[in-house]
Structure 1
Amino acid sequence: MGMKRRCCQLPSFILLCALLFLLTFRLGFCYESSKVVAGCIKAEKKALLKFKGGLTDPSGRLSSWVGEDCCVWRGVICDNRTGNVVKLKLQNPFPMSFYTDGMDYELGGVISLSLLDLKYLRYLDLSKNNFEGSRIPNFFGSLIKLRYLNLSDACFGGAIPRSLGNLSGLLYLDISNNFANLEAKDWNWISSLSSLRYLNLGRANLSKASSHLLQSVNFLPSLVELHLPRCRLYNLSPSLPSINLTSLSVVELSHNFINSIPHWLLNISSLLQLGLSYNHLQGRLPDKFEELISLQNLDLSRNILWGGQLPPSLGKLCNLHTLKLSMNNFSGEVTELINTLSTCNNSRLETLDLGYNTLTGRLPNSLGYIKKLRELRLPENMFSGSIPDSIGNLSSLEYLYLSVNEMSGRIPGNLGQLSSMIVLDLSENSWQGVITETHFANLSSLKELQITKHLPNISEIFKIDPRWLPPFKLRYINIRNCELGTKFSTWLESQNELRTVVLQNVRISGSLHDLLLKLDLPLDKLDVSHNNLSGQVHNSFRFNYGSTVDLRSNCFEGLLPLWSSNVSELYLGSNLFSGPIPPEIGEEMPLLTYLDISSNHLNGSIPLSLGNLKYLYYLDISNNNFSGKIPSFIGSLSSLGYLFLGRNRFSGEVPSSLQNCTRMGILDIGDNRLSGNLPSWTGEAMPTLLIFRARNNSFTGDIPWQFCGHSYLHILDLSNNKLTGIIPTCLGDLIVFKYDLYHWFSKIHNISLLLVTKGRIMEYKARTLDLVKILDLSSNNLSGGIPQELTTLGMLGTLNLSRNLLTGKIPEMIGDLEDLETLDLSHNKFVGEIPASMASLTFLSHLDLSFNNLSGEIPTNNQFHTFNDPSIYEGNLALCGIPLATKCSGSGETPSSGGKGDEDAEGRLEKLWFYLTVALGFFMGFWGVCGSLTIKRRWRLAFFRFLKKITNEITGLVCLMAN
């Protein structure tokens, strides 16, 4: 029995031994096969060297591609088991680096066909290089093992090859941010990439494929992220027959021309992120938005949406991390939306951006219960009231932007408890009260502080203990139109990381040297303008490259300081500086683009070295005592766009070299002693000229007809000269005086110009210059009449032709100057009646017709009711009527005296009844003749003349009875 059992067990034993042997052999084989193959495959090494040979490599990034083992070459990754090249990671490692020139590290040249010999290549990254607009190689579609292809930022152009559709195993495709001419004419091939999970075609031109783009994308069931920003997409399909995109979580369609939200998007329950900013979306948000309960990031900013209330249903999306609705047309209050957001249990909202709308009302107290909020951006709305005290509950808040609203009241002290705060921007509101160190007590993370308020009065006061040591290290401080107090400088002494210092109109005094010396650090911007600082300005302060210095409107004195050569914008206007401009300014400050030394006590001539400032764009030396001729070397400043030489003592003629300044926008040479003819060459040489001011000089000759060629000129002031001849009829062709065009002077925020309008000298700033349209030819020796063509300038605001030798009648169609606010025709030789059409100038607020030879009755209707000052008609002996004491012929002193006035009234009354009777009969038979009126144009004209006559008779009777 036992023997039989042992015999039965023997085969089992032998089988077990065999299995152990096979297992040992297999493990040994696996171990051997797991070892790295010494050296790569020769054919693939050869292919790589041939690929390298076609490339340009200015930085030598591929210098390691030598030796036998290509698997150790930079950017080459091999399979550990087989030695096959499986990855090429050749992206530029330093694109747009701050420390290096990224262009030096860009690969370029020609991509060799030898890549096809890398038969196991799964990963190819050529991003952030420069292939100079060459096409994406068609043979990439034959690299069938590819799973990852990144050609972004590589300067490819031309048509996207359809052969990419052969890469059925591709998981990741990024060809974004290439040349603008990279385009897809046909898009059907995309549906073949059935394994694709990530697709980014940003900046590719898909306009020709947009109609069927999404139908093709719908065949990609594994797609997780779809990025199509800046692709010139227009009309996307609003719906799809079925949705296969069950894995889609990220959709980025920003910077396109989409005008409505596709409904199919709202049926994708897996959606986590939706970007539709910078489009043309219109209308209201679809109700289905509130069903996207998984949505985490929603960006609909910068569209033309809605123009109504914020949809409170968005507050029900309790998984939202980011909600951006800025720069739309939203109005109304935010209370309901914020209340709804605050009721989400464990709300995840971190970013709320509602800036640049017209939202109103107060910020609700419920804002403080969105506990995870990190960014709150509400700038440029119309919010009122104070900041809610509950703001102190937002312990995670890092960025708070409330600038440019209508908020007021005190700033809550518990803002000082928000230790995570990085940026606090409360600028351009109407804050009141006192700010103490409590407001900053625990702001240990603060880097940027902006507290400014609306003018005119200062009611926000800083009262900070000079012994207090701030817990933060600011990089940016901007405080304007507040009162800081004399001890504020001790506040700054500890801020050794500052780069921008703006303390404008904060009522500080003393020496700039004492204020900033202890900082001893290089600055990007220093603005202490509109204060009471005094003394001499030292040039020992340090500045970074391209920095700005603004010391305007103080009491600084002494010679002009020469600052660091890094300064590009220097504003020293409205101080007490004296002496000449330093002769070495062109060598010492070669980067200057803006130079303002206006309204000082400077004298002498303009130094020759100023002509070396080849980047100078803005030069204002007005309102000083400079003399001599305008130097011709200013014409070498070819970048000059704004030149202010007015209110000095320059003499001689305008140098013809200025015609080299072809980018000129404003040329102010007024209030000097210049002579000769006006520069006729401006019409052709300065095509973008907006303002030409030459008043108060001694120019002679005619007004050049070439001025009529200025397409953008909207202030032409030639007053107080010795000009002769007639007013050119072609001035009626000045386009800006005809049409509603603006030129956005607000971009040059320091512009200030003195202009004569509404009978007085007024100073206009950048924000209002856009609205001013002036033609001032007053105080010359011009003759002839007012050209009829001037009456076509419907957008003209001020027309001043006073104190000339003009004759003839005032044009009957002058009433066509619809926007006219100021009309001064005084001190000329005009004759005839005041045109009746002038009564239609409904915006006219200043009128002067004095000292002419006008006659007849002064109109009394419309705007003429408001002109009660008789001096505006003085010197016209034949004028009569209100407000003059001279009564017109036929109007008695007392209407009830029974004299000729009563007889005239009775006669007119009889005529009125006659006309009324005729009119009644006419209307009784109207339906019998209306068909004839429709057919006969001559009858229609007679009918309307008849109605006009009745109207005039009624008006005359009413005026007579009123007198």
Structure 2
Amino acid sequence: MDTLYSNLLNPPYISHFLLLLFLASSYLHTSSHFCFCLVDGVPSIGSVRSCIEEERSALLSFKQDLKDPYGRLSSWVGRDCCQWEGISCTNRTGHVAKVDLRNPCSYDDEEGTYYNQSWLGGKINRSLLSLKYLNYLDLSCNYFDGIHIPKFFGDLKSLRYLNISSASFSGEIPPSLGNLSKLNYLDLGNSFYNTRSFEMHSKNLNWLSHLSSLKYLNLNGVNLSTEVPNLLHHVNMLPSLLELHLSNCFFESPPLSLQKINFTSLSVLDLSFTPNFDLYLSNNEVNTSSFPSWLFNLTSLRKLDLRWNSFGGPFPDELASLKSLEYLDLSHCGLEGQLPASLGMLKSMQHIHLSWLLLWGSIPASIGNLSSLKTLDLSNSNINGSIPESLGKLSELVRLDLSANPLEGILTEAHFINLTSLKICHIDNDGRPMPLVLNVAYDWVPPFKLQELGLEDFRIGPGFLGFLQSQTELEALSLRRAAILGSIPDEWFLKISSQVEYLDLAYNNFGGRLPFQLKFPKLMFIFLDHNQFEGPFPLWSSIAQILDLQSNLFSGPIPSNLDQLMPQLTYLDVSENNLSGTIPPSICNMKYMNTISLRKNKLFGEFPQQWSLWSEISIIDVSHNNLSGNIPSSMGIPSSLHEFKANNNNFGGEIPFSFQNCTHLAILSLGHNKFTGNLALRLGSNLSTLVVLGLRSNLLSGHIPHQLCNLVYLRTLDLAHNNFSGTIPKCLKNMTSLVKADAPFMESELSNIYDGQTTIMSKGEELDYGDYASFYWGLNIIDLSSNNFEGEILEQVGSLVELHTLNLSMNQLTGEIPSSIGKLRWLESLDLSHNHFSGHIPQNMSSLTSLSHLNLSYNNLIGRIPSGNQLETLNDPSIYEGNPSLCGAPLSTVCPGYDTGHIVPAEDLSKDDDEVFWFHVSMALGFIVGFWVVCGTLVLKKSWRYAYFKFFDNIKEKVALTIALKLARWQGKL
């Protein structure tokens, strides 16, 4: 105490003490508690302060109207509101200055979607007006379910910061916001997700020009379509503006002209997605516009984002005037032409995104002058030619993406020599026939350690394996279609095993045995297909989601505990290998399984009984094995099934009735088995999504069920080589996909990465066709051959104008070939052989210009074979053999009217046939008419009959007398 007392008497301490007393007097007015204490022997004044009562009550009223399902405001209790979550007070006065209730959410750039983790909702109470000193309000990333922005926000005159972005507000932006003259930061932007659900708009932006202090403005996703003419005028009234974000604002293109630029201090400009993003997604035509010239006056710009705009014309050379530019994104803009060498003048540039343009020519060598460049993305922009060696100068380059371009030339060490910062490298030539060549020395050690490497459609020299072994920090690797020979050392797999997540070595010539027991703790995507790997297939990762081993030499059984070794698998393709044994029942326990293909192996035994446990299964392909037994349905068939292929096995019994529950089924291929029963009881109207129905070479019987005619998506109907009977249904004309060129198409089925093969009989041979677009659009087939169908082909067959193959051979069909068959303009294959067709071959079959396979043999057809057009190319006599009454080329039988010195045209030959026919008809009619004219008259008229017979009696007497006289004279002479 003596020391303290003596210290207080010293002049410096006296002055400090008096100062503290002065400060204490001001604290007493705003604090509910006050203390006088010593800190390190020095007197100090402290406070245990709660906020002002009026403001605390206002916050509680505000909380009362909010929805808080996650308890984020649970700390809002007690007297001291300055300690509550999201509340900050000024140190001097204790007034609430900041309300920050931003929801901790994340944004997905690819999806354009915010994911709310712990949102607030409800209503916004006017009690906020009691917070007179509030200068910061952030309610962003919450969920206010489409309510309007409160008009009273315009009365919060002290606000300098207002952020209500992506909070699900809707309606018109209140013009009262123009009263916030102190506002520096205004963010009203909506995410794309919220834009579709809760649209905000502004009919008049006059209020904007009053915010003269504004430095940051974000109106992303706000509908400004009615304000396009005045938009720049209002923005031009904001001289302090540093950042402007107008992405996805529903106007077609940025305004092109502006007489005077006032916002020259602008450093960030985002006008991306200017032509409504949905227009691009729906492939509608979008009018192009010129590149706005006023942009080149914004010499302070550091970031310019114009992706997804509708600009036309050449790539602007004037961009070189923006010397301060650090970030440039013109992706998806429609710009065309050659990249100018002037790009090399942008010495401050760090990030260039120019993907999906219509460029031509090579990358300018001046790109090597951009010493600060970190990102160069020219993917999918049609860049061609060779890659300049100057690229190797970019020592700051982190990401290089030249994928999907028709590049050529040779890459050597010089292209990479100084890329010491490179982490991501993607280069390919988009599958073109003249690939890039990577030619580096085997002992060359690159100056970088990559995290991602994609070299697709390359021709890679022998030194690459040495290059690859130096990359031990890879997280993603794709060497698809790189024509690499040899085997990869086990040591390299070991080096990358701890961190690699994506591995694609598909379509190469890798061989040898893989390290079977090696563990990859982070590997999720494995593509080793179309190589020559041997041994048991690798069970590398317990978190793998995709395992594609198609077309290799893997052998042995499928592990019985695969569900435990790889429980996360969603996609398994081990087709076209040498796997043997049975399908383990435990495979059905893989609850995430979406696609499984075991096609073309040596598997035997029965199909797993509990396949209904696959709740997410979409595609099952077990075709071309030696499986047997019945297809189980006791526990039901997964309703999620899109494709089921079990053809070319030894399955028997009846087709399970529960396939009717598969309301998304597009492909059902069960051909080449031993299925029995009546199809009418197996197919219901629920299978409305069926595109391919393949049941050939089974033991099925009965009539074709009329339900087939209601399958509007059906493109391939193959019922050949069964015991079906009855007539061909008239209702086949209702199969929309075979009748209309613009028939509906199952586009939703194209999203799956599996593009397997379906076995189809076409043009007289069995072929494997790829699924999806190339298959659905390319094969429209009806094959009913080798059954017991009878009756005639009706004229309605001519309505199936989209048909490519029609095979009705080896049945009991009768009647004539309908002339309407000449309307099938896309018909490529027609087989009507081994039936009982009669009559002439329709002449208009010569109009089938796509026809390349025809068989009409072994019927009862007559007359001349039509000629002309496409039929002239089908000159194989076997097409028409077994029809003894046919004549003409290509048969050796000569038709009447055929002059050996002159080939009579087809139309004349047809005319001769008609003349012979009508000649015989006229002779018959003449005989009948003449007979009844004479004989009918004698029957009906008695007097004529007497005269007629009397005349013949007289004639008879004269003839007898003449003969008697002649005989008498002859005897006299003897």
The C-alpha deviation readout for 1:410-433, integer Å capped at 9, x for no partner, is 332223422222222224445465
Question: Residue 585 of structure 2 aligns to which amino acid in structure 1?
Answer: P
Question: Residue 761 of structure 1 aligns to which amino acid in structure 2?
Answer: E
The alpha carbon displacement at 1:469 in A equals: 5.7
The C-alpha deviation readout for 1:697-727, integer Å capped at 9, x for no partner, is 2222222222222222222222222222222
In the alignment, does 2:204 pair up with 1:187? yes
What is the rounded CA distance, in whole Å, between the counterparts of 1:733 and 1:394 in structure 2?
A: 64
1:86 alignment counterpart = 97
1:752 alignment counterpart = 757
What is the rounded CA distance, in whole Å, between the counterparts of 2:379 and 2:670 in structure 1?
A: 40
The C-alpha deviation readout for 1:847-887, integer Å capped at 9, x for no partner, is 33333333343343322232232222323333333333333
Question: Residue 645 of structure 1 aligns to which amino acid in structure 2?
Answer: A
| 2:691 and 2:776 in contact (8 A); partners too | no
Pairing of 1:619-658 with structure 2 (within 5 A): 619-633=620-634, 635-658=636-659
Question: Would the alpha carbon gap of residues 353 and 143 (structure 1) be closer, same or farther in structure 2, given more than 3 Å must change?
Answer: closer
Q: Determine which of 754, 763, 772 is the counterpart of 2:768.
A: 763
The alpha carbon displacement at 1:409 in A equals: 4.2
1:721 alignment counterpart = 722
What is the rounded CA distance, in whole Å, between the counterparts of 1:174 and 1:289 in structure 2?
A: 25
Question: Residue 454 of structure 2 aligns to which amino acid in structure 1?
Answer: Q
Question: Would the alpha carbon gap of residues 834 and 469 (structure 1) be closer, same or farther in structure 2, given more than 3 Å must change?
Answer: closer
Question: Would the alpha carbon gap of residues 661 and 384 (structure 1) be closer, same or farther in structure 2, given more than 3 Å must change?
Answer: same
The alpha carbon displacement at 1:85 in A equals: 1.1
CA RMSD, aligned part only?
A: 3.9
1:895 alignment counterpart = 902
Question: Residue 52 of structure 2 aligns to which amino acid in structure 1?
Answer: I
1:228 alignment counterpart = 246
In the alignment, does 2:788 pair up with 1:775? no
The alpha carbon displacement at 1:560 in A equals: 0.8
Question: Would the alpha carbon gap of residues 291 and 191 (structure 1) be closer, same or farther in structure 2, given more than 3 Å must change?
Answer: closer
Q: Determine which of 805, 822, 825 is the counterpart of 1:818.
A: 825
Question: Would the alpha carbon gap of residues 300 and 214 (structure 1) be closer, same or farther in structure 2, given more than 3 Å must change?
Answer: closer
1:392 alignment counterpart = 392
The alpha carbon displacement at 1:634 in A equals: 6.9
In the alignment, does 2:460 pair up with 1:460? yes
After the TM superposition, which of the residue ranges 610-619 and 128-137 deviates more from structure 2?
128-137
Pairing of 1:120-159 with structure 2 (within 5 A): 120-159=133-172
Question: Residue 218 of structure 2 aligns to which amino acid in structure 1?
Answer: N
Name the SS for the 2:411 alignment partner.
coil
| 1:654 and 1:679 in contact (8 A); partners too | no
The C-alpha deviation readout for 1:735-789, integer Å capped at 9, x for no partner, is 3222146555474433211112233222212452143232222322222333333
In the alignment, does 2:801 pair up with 1:784? no
When normalised by structure 1's length, the TM-score is 0.79
The alpha carbon displacement at 1:88 in A equals: 0.7
| 1:646 and 1:670 in contact (8 A); partners too | yes
Question: Would the alpha carbon gap of residues 42 and 526 (structure 1) be closer, same or farther in structure 2, given more than 3 Å must change?
Answer: same
In the alignment, does 2:64 pair up with 1:53? yes
The C-alpha deviation readout for 1:297-349, integer Å capped at 9, x for no partner, is 5545445654x7655555666555444444465666x3xx243434x3x5444
In the alignment, does 2:886 pair up with 1:879? yes
After the TM superposition, which of the residue ranges 656-665 and 281-290 deviates more from structure 2?
281-290
1:532 alignment counterpart = 532
1:616 alignment counterpart = 617
2:553 alignment counterpart = 555
The C-alpha deviation readout for 1:88-115, integer Å capped at 9, x for no partner, is 11112355799xx975532333333322
The alpha carbon displacement at 1:494 in A equals: 1.6
Q: Determine which of 80, 96, 106 is the counterpart of 1:69.
A: 80
What is the rounded CA distance, in whole Å, between the counterparts of 1:883 and 1:142 in structure 2?
A: 95
Question: Would the alpha carbon gap of residues 348 and 835 (structure 1) be closer, same or farther in structure 2, given more than 3 Å must change?
Answer: farther
The alpha carbon displacement at 1:525 in A equals: 1.3
Name the SS for the 2:820 alignment partner.
helix
2:814 alignment counterpart = 807
Pairing of 1:14-33 with structure 2 (within 5 A): none
| 2:642 and 2:665 in contact (8 A); partners too | yes
Name the SS for the 1:888 alignment partner.
coil
Q: Determine which of 198, 201, 204 is the counterpart of 2:219.
A: 201
| 2:548 and 2:572 in contact (8 A); partners too | yes
Question: Residue 772 of structure 1 aligns to which amino acid in structure 2?
Answer: G
The alpha carbon displacement at 1:44 in A equals: 0.8
Question: Residue 547 of structure 1 aligns to which amino acid in structure 2?
Answer: Q
Name the SS for the 1:725 alignment partner.
strand
| 1:652 and 1:673 in contact (8 A); partners too | yes
Q: Determine which of 448, 451, 456 is the counterpart of 2:452.
A: 448
Question: Would the alpha carbon gap of residues 434 and 239 (structure 1) be closer, same or farther in structure 2, given more than 3 Å must change?
Answer: closer
| 1:656 and 1:679 in contact (8 A); partners too | no
Question: Residue 183 of structure 2 aligns to which amino acid in structure 1?
Answer: L
Question: Would the alpha carbon gap of residues 96 and 218 (structure 1) be closer, same or farther in structure 2, given more than 3 Å must change?
Answer: closer
What is the rounded CA distance, in whole Å, between the counterparts of 1:877 and 1:289 in structure 2?
A: 84
Question: Residue 141 of structure 1 aligns to which amino acid in structure 2?
Answer: G
Where do 5+ consecutive residues of structure 2 fail to align? 1-16, 32-48, 913-974
What is the rounded CA distance, in whole Å, between the counterparts of 1:42 and 1:658 in structure 2?
A: 70
| 2:814 and 2:837 in contact (8 A); partners too | yes
In the alignment, does 2:290 pair up with 1:288? no
Question: Residue 186 of structure 2 aligns to which amino acid in structure 1?
Answer: L
Question: Residue 813 of structure 1 aligns to which amino acid in structure 2?
Answer: S
1:670 alignment counterpart = 671
Q: Determine which of 559, 563, 567 is the counterpart of 2:569.
A: 567
2:585 alignment counterpart = 583
The alpha carbon displacement at 1:125 in A equals: 0.6
| 1:450 and 1:478 in contact (8 A); partners too | yes
2:376 alignment counterpart = 376
1:523 alignment counterpart = 523
The alpha carbon displacement at 1:152 in A equals: 1.5
Name the SS for the 2:788 alignment partner.
coil
Question: Residue 390 of structure 1 aligns to which amino acid in structure 2?
Answer: S
Question: Residue 718 of structure 1 aligns to which amino acid in structure 2?
Answer: L
Question: Residue 542 of structure 2 aligns to which amino acid in structure 1?
Answer: F
The C-alpha deviation readout for 1:463-512, integer Å capped at 9, x for no partner, is 45779962550001112232242243333322231111222233333333
When normalised by structure 2's length, the TM-score is 0.78
| 2:271 and 2:305 in contact (8 A); partners too | no
Question: Would the alpha carbon gap of residues 239 and 735 (structure 1) be closer, same or farther in structure 2, given more than 3 Å must change?
Answer: farther
What is the rounded CA distance, in whole Å, between the counterparts of 1:764 and 1:276 in structure 2?
A: 29
What is the rounded CA distance, in whole Å, between the counterparts of 2:542 and 2:360 in structure 1?
A: 42
Identity %: 38
The alpha carbon displacement at 1:124 in A equals: 0.7
What is the rounded CA distance, in whole Å, between the counterparts of 1:361 and 1:437 in structure 2?
A: 29
1:543 alignment counterpart = 542
The alpha carbon displacement at 1:119 in A equals: 1.8
Question: Residue 524 of structure 1 aligns to which amino acid in structure 2?
Answer: M
What is the rounded CA distance, in whole Å, between the counterparts of 1:504 and 1:67 in structure 2?
A: 64
The alpha carbon displacement at 1:732 in A equals: 2.1
Question: Residue 648 of structure 2 aligns to which amino acid in structure 1?
Answer: R
Count of equivalent residues: 848
Question: Would the alpha carbon gap of residues 208 and 63 (structure 1) be closer, same or farther in structure 2, given more than 3 Å must change?
Answer: same
Question: Would the alpha carbon gap of residues 217 and 296 (structure 1) be closer, same or farther in structure 2, given more than 3 Å must change?
Answer: closer
What is the rounded CA distance, in whole Å, between the counterparts of 2:683 and 2:232 in structure 1?
A: 54
Return the index of the structure with the highest Cα Rg.
Answer: 2
Name the SS for the 1:190 alignment partner.
helix
In the alignment, does 2:179 pair up with 1:177? no
What is the rounded CA distance, in whole Å, between the counterparts of 1:791 and 1:440 in structure 2?
A: 68
Question: Would the alpha carbon gap of residues 576 and 286 (structure 1) be closer, same or farther in structure 2, given more than 3 Å must change?
Answer: closer
2:510 alignment counterpart = 508
